[in-house]
Structure 1
């Protein structure tokens, strides 16, 4: 793609020449590949473009062999006759490494026009040339995240700018063609145009005169990258001070204050970036709706805006001064930290591409349901503050507010709610469920640890596991309140039955019973009339 490249260390030039000479001498007479290739073993292969021998590994075998040339990074399909065995002296480690620009992401549409332009621009910029790199991190698959420079030119920034310019040029050209076509159809659709032509033509003419420029957004992103670099460097300095033989507590405290100040400024800039994305999206919304299929940069803006501002691309786990919450991390890693002056929890979800899409869809649906109720003083739904994806680890992080000992379970364990407090709290929970059900969402995970109580009079439905399906959530071992099962009978009787809003209301009724009769040792199998008390009072 446009942000990934392979490169060799300039100090390996002589080693590359030696390997090339050895391959040229040994491969023509070497033993041809027999049987099934070993994916860990290095072979020799004839590259189709220059008919020279290169070292490779076999990635996949079908009718032909998909090979990766380990000293250069390119791949192709070759026949069995093009592969030979190599002796031990040529089984040395590969000389090319895979690099990716740090802090950038691209569309997964490998065939999009702007992505191909970005790849071509990157190749013209660095192919066969010496570049200077600064290593930032290493991904689990071995890809090295770097900043790359030619002199003082930041190559990643240059590729991003070039890609964006070409995208908007493409959009403008397409828009002009579409406008021309609409003009020719004007006579046949005059009735329709009477309704919308004034606004529509005004927007078209405005976009004909000048394409939108993302300068303010680029400016914010540049400040964010600079602040991230400053933060990392100050953290390194702090670690050095703490590991020194003569510990200077004054200097350590001073450095901690500098880190906290830098982190706060960074989070402010990230908040501004979120506003810029949303502002930019809505400023050009009508044209974006028309052109969204043309350019993936518009899709990126749509992606961020469609999540209701929930996705924050510039956040990363290493920015936070986080404390592990071991007592709550049995199912997934949870850490407590501070963001923009508020104590929050980061919930980590291990994701691949498919799971990442599911997490995005489900968090967005949950978030949008709540934001549509923000005009109300009590929405009954826990707010999601942000969603971001790790840049150097396969994790998605969901940020929620931290309420110490705020779960219904913790409140009941410390000081049970009174009858009046119970009605107020459970009314809020009912309101949250009603909103979710109206949006077509079945919670399927309502339990005492997933209901939150504020000030002993406000109840909220918490978020659920965004990786699991509703069926998986409903049958989770945590769906209990004391000795009472919160799983609806129809789900227990037939495994795999999709839960419905009625199943949520069954869990709600059991919770209400548990709250009201906390100290009564009754099971859910007893007559339901016992826990109908105050049911109607909640509505």
Structure 2
């Protein structure tokens, strides 16, 4: 019950309107509390526990509001199955929500509501809730006060907590405005819902609502009696405004006189209302008569209009028939005219063509001859620049001459290398340190011999034009490939070069013979044209006759024959130059081309091998110059280990000192703060040294895999083999006690998870119980995953592993991975589900992760919504799995569910061992769940999902899903899924 002081003015902000006289509001002084509550709910609700079972009506829950997707406090009014009607207690509005939108709230949020329910004092609603008038009153009050600030004066409180008030906006009385609009009536003060108020104003509502004001807007039924409630105890300072104003002049009137005066005023108001009602009745009769006359006139006009419309429609039909006949006649006339015009045009064209042919007969023939001459000129110019035969002949000369053979020093170098590799293998196979020194000395002797051979080889190769020769061969090969296309690697003999040369010489002779014949014919034609020019020249006094100037061979034939011979010669040369090769010619050219490309390929392979050996031996030469007679030392590594041991000791001692200070009877806060700073500095220095240790291990591992395999045996205390076998994943210098960690209780349902910082990065430590037998297999599985994530493709889609270490005081293995806050796919779908395009982007990253693992021979076996991480709603990462378990155990995990959908492949459920295909089945189920999280899918008898063709899916996804949710033999691999249309656009 709200214990408020009646009569005191307060300022509230309206949050919800119930009806024309009832609303919810928050006290303006509570604004900071509202903001704090909103911030706390947005932080806690997304990860809070979902409601299970039946709700408690008195308990406060958190609900996700459908309009703005934000969290607010509420109480459940009633529920039906998984649908709950809730009232948002800090605002007053109600909504129907699903079970997934309700969460449990802790005790510190089970506080009173920030909004209260108010009702105008002295009023009641004069219509039912289902009536239009009730709805209009609610809309009127909402438009008047919703979202605005009001001044209220509290009058009383009902048993249900509703506060009866006078409300003002500026100088405007809100209750009076609602009454003026006929949405409410005056009533006996108090609660009309069947419960009496806990306290009331002893003089009732009339202290502020005087008879004069009632006569201006309030309505009272005729003959009704207004009863004044019996006086009840009131607050001392609560005095009606009217009495305050009159207290300085007159004494209070008795209640009977006040009632008599009020009854008289109400009777006068009733008489006035009766007169107004009579006037309105007369006006209504007059308007009814006028309306009847207007309706009669309107009906007459409608009948006249209908008759006119029928007549117009008949005229339109007659006009249409006539127009159709006129169109048909016009079309026939146009067809006849067009046919006549075509006939005339054909006759005219025939006559014109015949005349033009006679006029241009000589010119057309000379023009055709000129075109052939121009074509032949272009062919000869192209041949002058070189033909494909010339290119192939030039390539034959290049590959047959000036080639680079294998260096003479290479054979000796390879022999010394074999001896050196044998010496290295003996060093690697040595397990006794007392025998190692002799083997190293022998190896170093062979190394000195190898250094001399390497120097001779490098000097010889430096004198060879390898780069220039490779550029030449590359250019020749590219040029020939452009002309002839691809080639076969089938071996062809060098005799093809000689056969090609003979064939090419024969082709050149044939072409030259035809060319000479063409030149002779054109020479005759030019001589005749010169004679014609001289004959028709008027400047010549005595032009020679045609029969004298022309050669005998020309005069014996006519000009038509001469033109015909020239045209034949031109066509013959064009045919020879542009003729396609027959099968024999193609076989000769193809064989020569293939042999050239084979020679080029062999020489390029030799030159590349020489270049690679040159680079390898140059690198070896640099190494020899550095470690010719010495072995790399691990002194720097042991120095770092010593510093790490010292820092670990300092850190543990300072942690003990910190605990002592915190548990002391008198807490010294400055000293504790100082100790915290020292601990943080020591921890950062320790992590920095661990990073330097890992870098030193990496350098020694490179040397051990290269020319110094004796390093692991020489420095057994460094345990270099462990670092090399785990690819640097296992970090023995780490321990759980070294970290300042925060437990992640909301994510630690199956294993302890803590969040901490390592080398400037937020990380998560996952703890697994291990024993002496499972430790080796855990390292092996983690190394497989680590090797795939570190040395796979550029886009791996895997959550990277940062380190693996074992507890020194507990039988635990700790895996370190990056921390992605609120990135788990399950949490994202619970709070703010991904849209269609985001699902495609995120799941493409998951497919990339599966392709990376499957390419390394690793089966994930634990693909579920809690093991997929969403980074910025733009990238998906596949999380690591439990490295203490094999694939059979991981597939049997109870968390292999997406909603109610099992992610276990049907063949695994029937007893078959896990395979990469079972990961792809889980991928298909995840895609289905992300698009239909609430749907319960049925399985076929073979264990696969039923047909999904009727669902509203992206057409590309509808094609992809059946290829994932099928038998394992037909299921797509990860690489095939990435190239599918559904993902290929990403």
Name the TM-score class by shorter chain. Answer: 0.5 to 0.7
The reply to whether residue 173 of structure 1 matches residue 593 of structure 2 is no
The reply to whether residue 275 of structure 1 matches residue 720 of structure 2 is no
The alpha carbon displacement at 1:184 in A equals 10
User: Residue 479 of structure 1 corresponds to which residue in structure 2?
Assistant: 896
* Structure-1 separation of matches of 2:674 and 2:864: 45
3-state DSSP class of the match of 2:982? helix
Write 1 or 2 for the structure with the bigger share of strand.
1
3-state DSSP class of the match of 1:460? strand
* Structure-2 separation of matches of 1:372 and 1:434: 13
Please tell me whether the aligned partners of residues 444 and 629 of structure 2 are also in contact (alpha carbons under 8 angstroms): no
The reply to whether residue 227 of structure 1 matches residue 647 of structure 2 is yes
User: Residue 261 of structure 1 corresponds to which residue in structure 2?
Assistant: 681
3-state DSSP class of the match of 2:823? coil
The alpha carbon displacement at 1:303 in A equals 2.6
TM-score by length of 1: 0.62
Kindly report which structure 2 residues correspond to 1:280-429, keeping only aligned pairs within 5 A, or say none.
280-288=700-708, 290-291=709-710, 297=716, 300-373=719-792, 375-376=794-795, 379-429=796-846
Kindly report which structure 2 residues correspond to 1:147-158, keeping only aligned pairs within 5 A, or say none.
none
The alpha carbon displacement at 1:287 in A equals 2.5
3-state DSSP class of the match of 1:273? helix
Q: 1:207 to 1:506 in 2, by over 3 A?
A: same
User: Residue 232 of structure 2 corresponds to which residue in structure 1?
Assistant: none
Kindly report which structure 2 residues correspond to 1:440-451, keeping only aligned pairs within 5 A, or say none.
440-451=857-868
* Structure-1 separation of matches of 2:717 and 2:685: 28
The alpha carbon displacement at 1:391 in A equals 2.2
Q: Deviations over 1:88-138 (max 9, x none)?
A: xxxxxxxxxxxxxxxxxxxxxxx9646xxxxxxxxxxxxxxxxxxxxxxxx
TM-score by length of 2: 0.35
Please tell me whether the aligned partners of residues 793 and 852 of structure 2 are also in contact (alpha carbons under 8 angstroms): no
Q: Deviations over 1:184-224 (max 9, x none)?
A: 999xxxx9999877766875686562222112111211111
Q: 1:538 to 1:174 in 2, by over 3 A?
A: same
Q: Which is further off, 411-420 or 388-397?
A: 388-397
Please tell me whether the aligned partners of residues 704 and 712 of structure 2 are also in contact (alpha carbons under 8 angstroms): no
User: Residue 516 of structure 1 corresponds to which residue in structure 2?
Assistant: 931
Q: 1:250 to 1:198 in 2, by over 3 A?
A: closer
Kindly report which structure 2 residues correspond to 1:41-190, keeping only aligned pairs within 5 A, or say none.
113=432, 171-178=436-443
* Structure-1 separation of matches of 2:747 and 2:808: 25
Please tell me whether the aligned partners of residues 901 and 936 of structure 2 are also in contact (alpha carbons under 8 angstroms): no
Q: Deviations over 1:329-384 (max 9, x none)?
A: 333222221111222111122222331111111111111111124744xx310010
Larger radius of gyration: 2
Q: Which is further off, 507-516 or 343-352?
A: 343-352
Q: 1:478 to 1:208 in 2, by over 3 A?
A: same
3-state DSSP class of the match of 2:893? coil
Q: 1:183 to 1:246 in 2, by over 3 A?
A: closer
The alpha carbon displacement at 1:309 in A equals 2.5
* Structure-1 separation of matches of 2:715 and 2:896: 42
Residue number among 239, 244, 255 corresponding to 2:659 in the alignment? 239
The alpha carbon displacement at 1:485 in A equals 0.3
Please tell me whether the aligned partners of residues 447 and 628 of structure 2 are also in contact (alpha carbons under 8 angstroms): no
Q: Deviations over 1:279-310 (max 9, x none)?
A: 2221443134x447855739932431343322
* Structure-2 separation of matches of 1:394 and 1:487: 31
Q: 1:504 to 1:375 in 2, by over 3 A?
A: closer
* Structure-2 separation of matches of 1:185 and 1:323: 58
Unaligned ranges ≥5, structure 1? 1-110, 115-165
The alpha carbon displacement at 1:464 in A equals 0.3
Question: Which one has more relative contact order, counting CA pairs under 8 Å at least 6 apart?
Answer: 1
Residue number among 452, 456, 462 corresponding to 2:879 in the alignment? 462
Please tell me whether the aligned partners of residues 948 and 958 of structure 2 are also in contact (alpha carbons under 8 angstroms): no
Please tell me whether the aligned partners of residues 704 and 710 of structure 2 are also in contact (alpha carbons under 8 angstroms): no
3-state DSSP class of the match of 1:533? helix
Please tell me whether the aligned partners of residues 712 and 719 of structure 2 are also in contact (alpha carbons under 8 angstroms): no
Q: Which is further off, 201-210 or 437-446?
A: 201-210
* Structure-2 separation of matches of 1:112 and 1:397: 32
3-state DSSP class of the match of 2:724? helix
